[in-house]
Structure 1
Amino acid sequence: MPQHGEHDPTNGRFEEELGAVLRRTGEGFAVDDRRELVHGGLVRGRRRLVRRRVATVGGALALAMIGVGGVYGGSLLGSSGGAGQVSVAGPKPLPRQGEPAQIPVADLAAVLKAHTPAGEWRIDNPDGVGHSVLGVYDDGKGKAAVSVGLYRAGKTNETGLGQVTCPDEAAVPYDDCTSERLPGGGRLMVIQGYEYPDKRVETKNWRAVLLTEDGFLIDASEYNAPSEKDSAISRENPPFDPAQLKALVTAEGWRPLLQQIPEPQPAKTKPGGSHAAPPQEPSAARIQATLTSLLPKGQGLKVVDKGGQGSGGGGYLVVDDGKGRSLVGINVQPHMDDIRAELFSGADVTSTADGTRVKLTKQPGEKGGAGVVWWSADTLAVDGFRVVVSAFNSAAQHEAATRAEPALTTEQLKTIALSPKWRQLSEEAAGNAG
């Protein structure tokens, strides 16, 4: 039974779609600004970080579209899938490894229309190809933006699990969320949430995400407005209720389309014939423990909450010294030398004796929380090893400030970022991967 609260064919088009995925994931899937904080490299350098993670087949849902598993073969939901499969006209050759998905948008739209209530549709780019379909639906009660995307999450399902896990309700505003295991091994999450975590606009975003037993993701999103952002609210709620969203993502009509998502390119081989494995990043649990051990002593700091990506190289703590809660987040990123000229060449950058670049920043928060400020220490070693530590004067960026300043000074953040423990942790993770 469901458990309430259970825990982009051109390059330009690809990047556009990838950006949309990243905006909505969540990080993990959850639109938790604290998880987004640690997953995205603390905003600065995020685009380069995303490219790097895509190139190395790491990260979470951002990589689902290029694939980390084999060609889908077999039932989506076993014998219990939805009814009314939509045929795809004519036999198609198997997709070649490493190519972008070439699924006709018209085929995606046909499945979408066949498994939603009767209404008028306007489909974006109906003659195009890709891995997703976007449209505006109108049942006479108000226009609503709707999208469905098909992605790979890997045969192990490790990266996909974060997309079907309900977020922390204390950090992410939503009205309801369920996560359940389906017959045949699939996992489904349905969440009734909001486009903006701070609810500055009451745009609702209801989503259903299915992780199949073979490691594919079917992600459906709907809004109570004609577009995801920058449109006036057109109806009280999105048009499809949770049961209808579930029926949409579990429909068997998606099965032949999933087969058209290409396999990833084989890993390049090193001299001697061994395969180059993607860099392994420290787990969130180890990062949380290390960050806790590096908190300043004598300030009465107590850890009242913690979290982060399972293996995304980031984590966060919420600390309280009796003066109000403060979010402290960290991201550990090896092989980031390509951002040196972009982020570490200004007059505000200093260097340590060993050549590590250090940039200290104080700026307003970015998620709409009243009075929130964001202090950070961004460090980059000579070999490209990057550690970013940030602190806020609130428990989450979308929440109002709980204190005048963060619980940690920028110098204390710098001390934490420069600790040799982070390199030791990264080397340990790399050793485990090898």
Structure 2
Amino acid sequence: MNNLNDTLPDLMRRATENLEPESTDLVERGMRRGTILRRRRTALLSFTGAGAVLATAGIVIGGTQLFGGTGEAPAAGTAGQSVTEEATGPVTQKETLATLMKLLPANLKVTKPQSWGGNGFHGASVVVDDGHGPSKISLGVTAPGADGTCAMDPGTCKTRPDGSLISVEAYGPTYGEGNPGGVLRNSVTIVRPSSGSISLISFNAAEEKGVDKSRAKPALSVEQLITIADSQTWRFPLQQKVPTTGPTKPEPKSPGAGKPVVPVQQTLHNLKKLLPRDLTLTRPETWGGGTAGHNGAAYVINDGKGLSRIDVFVSYEQPVTKCGPEGIAHCQVRSDGAVVGWVKDDPSYSDARQKVNGVLANRVEIHYPDGRMIGMTSYNGPQEKDARHTRVKPAFTPDQLMAMANDKAWKFPGTGTR
């Protein structure tokens, strides 16, 4: 059995997978072509919020009893009553959406219905309004197979008498660092034994990201979400059969397989040698190395105009031979066959956090025909995210970054004998 906390983040991600994702940077887009990027500091949807304590006698959040107690005052009336007989048979995405709308409290005005899914998963969403402002409701329903256990996480989930597992979050912030935009969510995930799983989220805004809050609290409380998720009217998508058409095609061998590894300190040293000598260098950082097949290195520099992070990433990848719709911006193929690209003043966020932090980036990439890849980035702050900008522009222009990236001193790490 899987640990429930290994399963639930994926369920909730799928429940909101039609929402606009955070903007990805230039090197991240290269990952779609096999590039390995440095670790990300992205805040993922989580069910183990510090304010949530699920106890044996009930779930308590911020001093409020959610099971077996008075609970919080409902924000939008009582959820629709569940029926006693469970429906059977295959279900379509539109029918899943219709079930959600049927189970919502009658006093809500419902707009913007959407449904999506496939491969044993159905998603749906609506925007509701009880007179206090719009609130998005997102749903994910999966086929049987997402089982789990609470054994390793007794404080964050509960096994109920019927064998189902439940995890909740009340007033979880969309972002850390002050939660710009003020968007909060109530969420519930229930995994039914041999039946399927249901994930429900209510936001205090018309969207999860890219907007400010439109009301003080989500329209539906955790208790109401539990009532809706517990309804026996839900029908689950069919489990997808594993194709048996033959052996799967093996992944192509990386051009870096078997090539010598490069110490990450050498990558950091190369970066330092290429930087102007009149800069103050602080916060040296490295990642990757060994047999990982990629190296990263960074400094925070100061030229008298404020702190600016600069980082470099070198690796092997499946060769890139042309510019593509999901590739790097301002892309061109050079006479030596290398695919190069750059972007200027790229914002770190596509939502309210950008107005707060204001961090911009200049980036360049070079993809060589033999699979070598290098990316360099300069920021107008000490880090990419979760910090405010410290200068108007990044310290290095795209032209300056490209000149450094083109230097012949760079060594590209392989995986060694692995």
TM-score with structure 2 setting the length: 0.52
> Which amino acid in 2 is paired with 1:302?
R
Residues 108 and 20 (structure 1), Cα distance of their counterparts in 2 relative to 1, 3 Å cut: closer
Q: 2:156 aligns with which of 166, 175, 180?
A: 180
Match of 1:220 in 2: 200
Other-structure match for 1:378: 365
In 1, Cα distance between equivalents of 2:408 and 2:147: 34
Matched, 1:326 2:309: yes
Q: How many residues align?
A: 319
Q: Please state how far the C-alpha of 1:341 moved relative to its aligned partner.
A: 5.2
Instruction: Decide whether the 8 Å contact of 2:329 with 2:343 is kept in 1.
Output: no
Counterpart code for 2:309 = S
Higher gyration radius (CA): 2
Give the letter aligned to residue 23 of structure 1: P
**138, 163, 187: which one aligns with 2:129:** 138
Amino acid at match of 1:105: K
2:89 matched to which residue of 1?
91
Q: Which residue is equivalent to 2:412? A: 420
**Equivalent residue for 1:356, pick from 315, 323, 338:** 338
- In the alignment, is the contact (CA less than 8 A) between 2:372 and 2:412 conserved in 1? no
**1:365 corresponds to 2:350:** no
**TM-align CA RMSD:** 5.8
* 1:134 shift after superposition: 1.2
CA deviation profile, 1:390-412 (whole Å, cap 9, x unmatched): 33222234743124555776144
Given residue 412 of structure 2, which amino acid in structure 1 is its aligned partner?
Answer: P
Per residue, is there more strand in 1 or in 2? 2
Matched, 1:42 2:28: yes
**Unmatched 5+ stretches in structure 1:** 8-16, 25-32, 54-79, 93-101, 158-164, 166-177, 282-288
Q: Secondary structure at the match of 2:323?
A: helix
Checking the alignment, whether the CA contact within 8 Å between 1:205 and 1:223 is kept in structure 2 is yes
Question: Per the alignment, in what secondary structure is the counterpart of residue 272 of structure 2?
Answer: coil
Question: Which residue of the other structure, out of 185, 200, 204, is the alignment partner of 1:206?
Answer: 185
In structure 1, how many angstroms separate the alpha carbons of the residues matched to 2:207 and 2:409?
40
**CA offsets, 1:261-291, max 9 Å, x none?**
534645x75xxxx53245799xxxxxxx976
Q: What is the CA-CA distance between 1:380 and the residue it aligns to?
A: 1.9
Alpha-carbon deviation of 1:23?
0.9
Aligned partner (choices 17, 20, 28) of residue 18 of structure 2: 20
**Pairing of 1:52-63 with structure 2 (within 5 A):** none
* 1:148 shift after superposition: 1.0
SS of 1:297's partner is helix
Select which of 237, 240, 252 maps to 2:217.
237
In structure 2, the CA distance between the partners of 1:248 and 1:378, relative to structure 1 (3 Å rule), is farther
Equivalent residue runs for 1:224-303 within 5 Å: 224-227=204-207, 234-242=214-222, 245=225, 247=226, 251=230, 253=232, 256-257=235-236, 259-260=237-238, 262-263=240-241, 265=243, 269=246, 274-277=247-250, 294-295=267-268, 296-297=271-272, 300-303=281-284
C-alpha distance in structure 2 between counterparts of 1:377 and 1:152, whole Å: 43
Relative to structure 1, is the Cα distance of residues 338 and 255 closer, same or farther in structure 2, using a 3 angstrom cutoff? farther
Residue 147 of structure 1 is matched in structure 2 by: 138
- Matched residue type, 1:91: G
What is the percentage of aligned positions where both structures have the same residue? 15
